[in-house]
């Protein structure tokens, strides 16, 4: 088991013939991801690494039964692509692009909600179920199949955490980058609910950062409902207020969004908080193995 995607999941890549699309499709295929279709308007009939290309998602779904989409089109086309996937009946869209306007994302969220489509991202590395399905831009080789679920707002920070976990022999069930934008698809709580139901996942790591209150909300949810061990990490203890730290959503506004508040909330919820990223793998291993 795993959540959201596994080796059988049929995937369509939107923007498969673009530079990013080609590069990452190759990496995903190498990993063993079940990519059944690609979409680029005007390129129907072509193939890329033996994957058939269609003009639109509707054709791709009809011909191949694709059920999950990953979008590699540039930011200004990404919102449209996500809505197209949803209208075509895709169950889950993964949006990698950064710099999609917030107003577009608000509209996309409503559009997808009306059609029951789930979304991961934008501005995220994607999802990986190790040794089964790599649906994103993360390096596959650092992952190992196992029982730790990971939900994170950051890309390379997650790679670091995963690398350390794998290093101490702890594999992962599914790792999800939910993205660094203020408005996004599935959040910590949505994914915790899925991990709660997943027998293979024994513990979960929440990797957050300054800005917003998603971590505080998640901590409250964990305290009230979630019964598996949860580890928390927050980046940005040294971040100054009022400054955007790379991610659009990583900003302390007034007294809101501070790392210390998030850490306090996590500790109050009974989570094991890892303060120093250098200790990540060691602390998780020690806690779980006693």
Partner 1 sequence: MNIHEYQAKQLLKEYGISVPEGGVAATPEEALQAAGSLGSGKYVVKAQAHTGGRGKAGGVKVAATPTEAAEFAKQMIGMTLVTHQTGPSGKIVRKVWIEKATDIARELYLAVVLDRTAQKLAVIVSPMGGMDIEAVAASNPELIFRTHVAPGQKLWPFQAQKLLCGCGLNAEQMKAGESIIRNLLRLAWEKEASLVEINPLAVTGAGDLIALDAKMNFDDSALPRQAAIAAMEDREQTDELELEAQKHGLNYVRLEGNVGTMVNGAGLAMATMDVIKMAGAEPANFMDVGGGASAERIAKGFEIILSDKNVNAILFNVFGGILRCDNLATGVVEAAKKVKRQVPMIIRLEGTNVAEGRAILEKSGLNFEMASSMKEAAEKIAKVAAAKG
Whichever of 169 and 278 has its CB closer to partner 1, that residue is 278
Count Cβ atoms below 10 Å from residue 35 Cβ, excluding itself. 25
What is the rounded distance in angstroms from the CA atom of residue 105 to the CA atom of residue 7?
29
Contact predicate 63/71, CB 8 Å: no
Task: Please tell me whether residue 196 adopts helix, strand or coil conformation.
Answer: helix
Candidates 87-95, 192-200, 223-231, 251-259; binding stretch for partner 1 (CB under 8 A): 251-259
Give min distance, CB of 55 to partner 1, in A. Answer: 26
Cα 251 versus chain centre, distance: 20
Give min distance, CB of 14 to partner 1, in A. Answer: 19
* 99 classed as catalytic: no
DSSP-derived letter for residue 74 is -
Among 68, 90, 100, 175, binds partner 1 (CB under 8 A): 100
Q: Which of residues 221-250 bind partner 1 (CB under 8 A)?
A: 233, 235-240, 242-250
Q: Distance of CA 115 to CAs 86, 108, 120, Å? A: 7, 11, 15
Give min distance, CB of 129 to partner 1, in A. Answer: 18
Count of positions on this chain that bind partner 1 (CB under 8 A):
62
Give me the residues that bind partner 1 (CB under 8 A), please.
Answer: 27, 75-76, 99-103, 106-107, 109-110, 137-139, 141-142, 152-160, 163, 180, 182-183, 207, 209-214, 217, 233, 235-240, 242-250, 254-256, 275-279
């Amino acid at each position: 088991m795993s959540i959201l995607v596994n080796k059988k999941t049929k995937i369509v890549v939107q923007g498969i013939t673009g530079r990013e699309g080609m590069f990452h499709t190759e990496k995903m295929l190498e990993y063993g991801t079940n990519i059944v279709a690609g979409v680029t308007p005007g390129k129907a009939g072509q193939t890329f690494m033996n994957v058939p290309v269609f003009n639109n998602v509707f054709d791709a779904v009809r011909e191949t039964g694709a059920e999950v989409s990953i979008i590699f089109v540039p930011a200004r086309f990404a919102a449209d692509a996500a809505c197209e996937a949803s209208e075509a009946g895709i169950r889950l869209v993964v949006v990698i692009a950064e710099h999609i306007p917030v107003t577009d994302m608000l509209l996309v969220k409503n559009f997808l909600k009306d059609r029951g489509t789930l979304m991961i991202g934008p501005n995220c590395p994607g999802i990986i179920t190790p040794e089964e399905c790599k649906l994103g831009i993360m390096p596959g080789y650092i992952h190992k199949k196992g029982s730790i679920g990971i939900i994170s707002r950051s890309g390379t920070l997650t790679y670091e955490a995963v690398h350390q976990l794998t290093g101490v022999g702890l594999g992962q069930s599914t790792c999800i980058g939910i993205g660094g934008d203020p408005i996004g698809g599935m959040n910590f709580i949505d994914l915790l609910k899925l991990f709660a139901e997943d027998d293979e996942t024994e513990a979960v790591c929440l990797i957050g950062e300054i800005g917003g209150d998603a971590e505080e909300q998640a901590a409250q949810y964990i305290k009230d409902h979630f019964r598996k061990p949860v580890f928390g990490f927050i980046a940005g203890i040294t971040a100054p207020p009022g400054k955007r730290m790379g991610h659009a959503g990583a900003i302390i506004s007034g007294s809101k969004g501070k790392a210390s508040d998030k850490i306090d909330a996590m500790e109050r919820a009974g989570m094991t908080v890892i303060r120093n990223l250098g200790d990540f793998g060691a602390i998780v291993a020690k806690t779980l193995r006693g």
